[in-house]
Chains A and B, each alone.
Chain A
């Protein structure tokens, strides 16, 4: 599991240890992430400066073990951009003949916060279940 899922933050007023986002912080409903959005954002986080369409698609396909289309990746990135969770920037052209510029993706602070919230929610839901014990 990823480090962010198990990161322990300051105790909340209720005494629980949870992720960086505490229990009490309300999260706008629009910031709840769908499953594939979580995959895309985690892939972007892992890839760092090399996150663009090709690498994100490959990352998800290899790790999740399921075929992923480039359209699904860009449609998801488009939705995340509308929610201000990702940013795009254009890289310099590759230093080869006919080299292309790539649309690189980075997570915004809001995106990172939403990702942490979603993953910590998942962790809390899994606590005490056979799935959590097996993993």
Chain B
């Protein structure tokens, strides 16, 4: 024998008032069985679901009204029903003032969007720590060209942000005693490399860095090993790290 849709029955049990819940469920089931005699099961189930959905608002409104009456009589207070009434009143008021509501909504949206964007940038750049060990001990070194200071164009604008040449880096590495480790890398305009082997060749972004880079950053290899001391030239081997 076909039964009414289970989820709809559960929903009816949740929303219906204690006083009438069982009767409403029994009445709906009676009509459902009557409909099965003249309609297909699918149609009868659809009717049942519509009945339950159409009963949600009336039952809830009745429960809220009754709770508020009990509250007014000094019985047990149900504050969230008062909140519901306040929210409905607020919604009706806003609906009456369409222009005001629209302008306010747009203003709030723009403000929240702008604030969120700004915070995302600040969080990512300033607040979030770098994903390295002891990030407060990492520094970037730049070369300064005081003679270019004040000159027009890019050269003058970045007189204190020139990169080191590789041989200058080598000299620093050999002579410096102030740093625990030194590494060099080429940032911006990454090179491309082609991965061949099994399957289709794939183009991959690649960069150039000194052998000491990952060690300075505190990254440990997941597979393989880093370059051994003195081995700065190209050598076969594979290293993988997360």
Contact = CB atoms under 8 A, between A and B. Distances in A.
Interface in B32-63: 50-52, 54-59, 61-62
Contacts of A103: 20, 23
Interface stretch (A11-19, A71-79, A107-115): A71-79
Say whether chain A's binding surface is mostly helix, strand, loop, or mixed: helix
A39 interface: no
B69 A74 contact: no
A71 B31 contact: no
A102 B23 CA distance: 7
A102 B31 CA distance: 13
Size bracket, chain A contacts: 20 to 34
B217 interface: no
Interface in A41-100: 52-54, 57-58, 67, 69-72, 74-79, 82, 100
Q: In the complex, which of the residues B15, B20, B57, B61 has the most CB atoms of chain A within 10 Å of its own CB atom? A: B20
Contacts of A102: 23, 26
A54 to B, nearest CB: 5
B174 interface: no
B19 A71 contact: no
A75 B50 CA distance: 17
Contact of A71 (B24, B26, B65, B66): B24
B23 A53 contact: yes
Contacts of B23: 52-53, 74, 102-103
Interface residues of B, number: 26
B26 to A, nearest CB: 6
B65 A54 contact: no
Contacts of B66: 78, 82
A72 B58 contact: yes
B30 A71 contact: no
Given A77-B20, A78-B19, A71 B56 contact: yes
Given A72-B55, A74-B58, A75-B17, 12 more contacts: A52-B23, A52-B27, A69-B50, A70-B24, A70-B28, A71-B55, A75-B59, A76-B58, A77-B20, A78-B20, A102-B26, A103-B23
- Nearest 7 CB-CB pairings of A with B: A71-B55, A69-B54, A53-B27, A75-B62, A75-B58, A74-B20, A71-B58
Interface of B: 15-17, 19-20, 23-24, 26-28, 30-31, 50-52, 54-59, 61-62, 65-66, 69
Interface of A: 52-54, 57-58, 67, 69-72, 74-79, 82, 100, 102-103
18 contacts: A52-B23, A53-B24, A53-B27, A67-B54, A69-B58, A70-B27, A71-B16, A74-B16, A74-B62, A75-B17, A75-B61, A78-B62, A78-B66, A79-B62, A100-B30, A102-B23, A102-B26, A103-B20
